[in-house]
Structure formats: structure tokens, C-alpha cells
Structure 1
Amino acid sequence: MNKTLTIVFILLAMGLIVFNFTLLDFQNPFVGDSLIAVIGIVASLCAILLLLILWKAKNIERRVNGKD
């Protein structure tokens, strides 16, 4: 996976976090559409974490293979 593509996916996930944050009802965060927004935020955070792990793994692979 290309570094640019990884950054684009991270930015998209961050955009989803911002969008879902606007849908949150802070009085009742686990009711109705607010629950869906919480799930979306958690899923986006997981996606960012996985992309960062992939990015780091690719860097390690490049160094082990001597392409750096």
C-alpha cells in the first residue's frame, strides 16, 4: 500500500470522526442515532490504528529487505 493512499484513508477516517461527532447527543450518548455515531467514531479510530500499524510494518519490511 502506498504512503499517499494510507494518508488519504487516515484523513477520510478523521473526517468520519468529525461527522459522527456532530451527530452525538451528549445528554444520551447511547440512545438512537447517537449510539450509531459512537459506533462510527470507534470504528474510525480502529481503522486509523490499523492503518498506522500497516504503515509501520511496511517501513520495517523495507528496512529488513535493505530497500531503505
Structure 2
Amino acid sequence: MNKILLLVLLVLALVLIGYNSTVVNFEKPLEGDSLVALICIVASLCAIILLLIFNAARKIQKKIDGES
């Protein structure tokens, strides 16, 4: 995966978190559109974590290949 694609996906996930945090009704967060927004926020956070794990694994693989 290209570094630019990784950064674009990370920025997209952050934008989704920002937008969905404006949709959440903090007085009733588990009703209607607020629940959907919370689910989208959690999904975006999971995507960010997976992208960062993938990036770390790729760096480790490059180091291993460089030593051999």
C-alpha cells in the first residue's frame, strides 16, 4: 500500500469521525441517528487502528527483508 493511499484513508477516517461527532445527540446518544453516528465513529476508529497496524507490519517486513 502506498504511503499516500494510507494517509488519504487515515484522513478520510478522521473526517468521518468529525462529521459523525456533530450528528450525535449527547442527551440521547442511543436513539435514532445518534446510534448510527456512534457506530460509524467506532468503525472509523477500528479502521484507523487497522491501518496503523498494517503500516507497522509493513515496516517490520521491510527491515526483515533488508537483513536477509
Q: TM-score, normalised by structure 1?
A: 0.95
The structure with the greater share of residues assigned to helix is 2
Shift of 1:3: 1.2
CA distance in 1, matches of 2:49, 2:29: 23
Number of residue equivalences? 67
Runs of 4+ in 1 over 6 A off after TM superposition: none
Q: Which runs of 5+ in 1 are unaligned?
A: none
Cα deviation, 1:25-51, whole Å, max 9, x if unaligned, reads 000000000000000000000000000
Q: Which runs of 5+ in 2 are unaligned?
A: none
Which residue identity is paired with 2:63? R
Q: TM-score, normalised by structure 2?
A: 0.95
- Superposed CA RMSD in Å reads 1.0
CA distance in 2, matches of 1:33, 1:22: 11
- Identity across aligned pairs (percent)? 51
- Partner of 1:11, secondary structure, is helix
